[in-house]
Structure 1
Amino acid sequence: MKKTNTILLLLMLSFSLMNFSCTSSDEEVIINDLSSLDKELVARDFSGVVLVVQNDDIIFNKAYGRKNGQENEWNDVNTVFDICSITKQFTAAGILKLSMQNKVSVNDDLSKYFDGVPNDKKNITVHQLLTHSSGLVVGIGGDYETITEEEFLEQVFDSELISPVGERFNYSNIGYSLLGLIIEKASGMDYETFLNSQVFEPSKMNHTGYVIPDWETNEVANGFFDGKEAKKPNEENWSDNGPYLNLKGNGGILSRASDMLLWSQSIMNNTVLDEATTATYLYPHFQPTNIYDNYGYGWGIENPDSENKLVVHGGASNLFTSDLWIYPKKRITIIILSNEFEESVYTIAREISNFLLAE
Structure 2
Amino acid sequence: MKLSSINFIIAFFCLLQSCGQSPNKEVAHKEPNKLEELNNYIDELEKEGLYGSFLFMENDKILFEKSVGYANREKQIKSSKSTIYPYGSIVKDYTYTVTLLLASEGLFELEDPLGKFYENIPEDKKKITIAQLLQHRSGLLTYHDNIPELRKKYKGIPADLYPGTKEEALGYIFSQKLKFTPGTDQSYSNSGYTLLAYLIEGISGKKFDEVVREKILLPAKTTTADFYQSPLWKSEDVAVGYGRSSYGKENSAYYWPRNPNQLIGNGGMAGTLYDLYKGLKYMMSLEETNKEFSRLSKKYKYIEDLPDDIVGSSGGGNLGNVMVLFGIKSKGQYLLFASNNDDDGSEDVLMLRKVTLLGFDFDIASLAPEEFKKNGGEEESEFTRLDKDSAGSKWDLPKKVKYERIAAFFDLLSNQLDIESFEKQHCSPQFSKKLKKNYEKWPKLKSLKYRIESYGREMELSLKDTINRKQYIFEVKLEGDAQSKFKSIQLKQ
Give the shorter-chain TM-score range.
Answer: 0.7 to 0.9
What displacement does 1:327 show? Answer: 2.4
| Map of 1:123 onto structure 2 | 127
Q: What is the match of residue 176 of structure 1? A: 193
Contact kept in structure 1, 2:166 and 2:261, CA below 8 Å: yes
Deviation of 1:243 after TM superposition, in Å, equals: 2.6
Paired-residue identity, %: 24
SS at 2:123 equivalent:
coil
Distance in 1, matches of 2:181 and 2:4, equals 20
2:236 aligned residue: 218
How many residues align? The count is 321
Matches within 5 A, 1:318-333: 318=318, 319-333=320-334
The reply to whether residue 158 of structure 1 matches residue 152 of structure 2 is: no
Partner SS for 2:195: helix
Q: Which amino acid aligns with 2:314?
A: G
Unaligned runs of at least 5 residues, structure 1? 20-31, 287-294
CA distance in 2, matches of 1:265, 1:233: 24
Do the aligned partners of residues 152 and 347 (structure 1) sit closer, same or farther apart at CA in structure 2, a change above 3 Å counting?
A: same
* Cα 1:159–1:80 shift into 2, 3 Å: same
Measured in 2, the distance between the counterparts of 1:312 and 1:327 equals 9
Q: Residues 358 and 139 from structure 1, CA distance in 2 versus in 1: closer, same or farther, beyond 3 angstroms?
A: closer
The verdict on how the C-alpha distance between 1:50 and 1:278 changes in structure 2, with shifts beyond 3 A counting, is farther
Whether the 8 Å CA contact 2:94–2:212 is kept in 1: the answer is yes
Q: Distance in 2 between matches of 1:11 and 1:205?
A: 29
- The residue aligned with 1:82 is 86
Please report the RMSD computed on the Cα atoms of aligned residues, expressed in angstroms.
2.8
Structure 1 CA distance for aligned equivalents of residues 164 and 317 of structure 2? 20
Determine if the alignment matches structure 1 residue 55 to structure 2 residue 59: yes
Shift in alpha-carbon separation, 1:228–1:108, aligned structure 2, 3 A: closer
Matched, 1:250 2:251: no
The AA in structure 2 aligned to 1:322 is M
Of the three residues 2, 7, 18, the one matched with 1:13 is: 7
| Matching of residue 270 in structure 1 with residue 264 in structure 2 | no
After superposition, where does 1:83-122 map in structure 2 within 5 Å?
83-122=87-126
Contact 2:114–2:129, Cα closer than 8 Å, also in 1: yes
Q: Name the structure, 1 or 2, with higher relative contact order (CA <8 Å, separation 6+).
A: 1
Equivalent pair of 1:84/1:253 in contact (CA under 8 Å): yes
**C-alpha separation between the residues in 1 aligned to 2:280 and 2:94?**
12
Q: Which residue of 2 aligns with 1:312?
A: 312
CA deviation profile, 1:302-325 (whole Å, cap 9, x unmatched) = 422xxxx10211001121001111
Contact 2:104 2:292 in 1 (8 A): no
- Structure 2: any 5+ residue segments left out of the alignment? 14-32, 146-158, 364-493
Q: Tell me the TM-score normalized by structure 2.
A: 0.60
**Aligned-pair distance for 1:343?**
4.2
User: For residues 158 and 358 of structure 1, do their structure 2 counterparts lie closer, same or farther at Cα, with a shift above 3 Å needed?
Assistant: closer
Q: 1:175 to 1:160 in 2, by over 3 A?
A: same
User: Secondary structure, in 3 states, of the residue corresponding to 1:14?
Assistant: helix
Indicate yes or no: 2:217 matched with 1:200: yes
Change (3 A) 1:315 1:98: same
Q: Which has the larger radius of gyration?
A: 2
- Measured after TM superposition, the shift of residue 235 of structure 1 is 1.3
Contact 1:264 1:326 in 2 (8 A): no
| Secondary structure in 1 matching 2:324 | strand
Deviation at 1:75, TM superposition (A): 0.8
Query: Following the alignment from structure 2 to structure 1, what is the Cα–Cα distance between the partners of residues 299 and 330?
Result: 14
* Displacement of 1:337: 1.2
Displacement after TM superposition at 1:130 (Å): 0.9
- TM-score (normalizing by structure 1): 0.81
Cα drift, residue 330 of structure 1: 2.0
Task: Measure the CA separation in 1 of the matches of 2:38 and 2:338.
Answer: 15
How much has 1:93 moved relative to structure 2?
A: 0.9
Q: For 2:289 and 2:93, locate their aligned partners in 1 and report how far apart those are by CA, in whole Å.
A: 12
- Kindly tell me: are residues 340 and 72 of structure 1, through their superposed partners in 2, closer, same or farther at Cα, counting changes over 3 Å? closer
